[in-house]
Amino acid sequence: MTAEPARLFDLSAKVALVTGARTGLGQAIALTLAAAGADIVGLGSAPMPETGGRVETLGRRFTEVVRDLGRSDGLAELVADIERHAGPVDILVNNAGIIRRADVLEFSEADWDAVANVNLKSLFFLSQAVARSLIGRGVPGRIINIASLLAFQGGIRVASYTSAKHGVAGLTKLMANELGAKGITVNAIAPGYMATDNTAALRADPARRQQILDRIPAGRWGEPEDLATAVLFLASPASAYVNGTIVPVDGGWLAR
d(CA 238, CA 186): 14
Cβ burial of 208 (10 Å; 0-12, 13-18, 19+) is middle
161 counts as catalytic: yes
**Residue 112: alpha-carbon gap to chain centroid:** 20
Cβ burial of 101 (10 Å; 0-12, 13-18, 19+) is middle
DSSP notation for 12-80: TT-EEEEET-SSHHHHHHHHHHHHTT-EEEEEESS--HHHHHHHHHTT--EEEEE--TT--TTHHHHHH
Nearest of 158, 150, 159, 156 to residue 191 by alpha carbon: 150
Q: Which of 62, 124, 125, 161 is catalytic?
A: 161
d(CA 165, CA 171): 10
User: Hey, which bits of 74-154 come out as E strands?
Assistant: 91-94, 141-146
d(CA 40, CA 60): 7
Is residue 232 within 8 A of residue 33, CB to CB? The reply is yes
Run of H or E residues at 165: helix 159-179
Q: What is the dihedral of CA 128, 131, 132, 138, to 10 degrees?
A: -170
Q: Which residues are catalytic?
A: 161
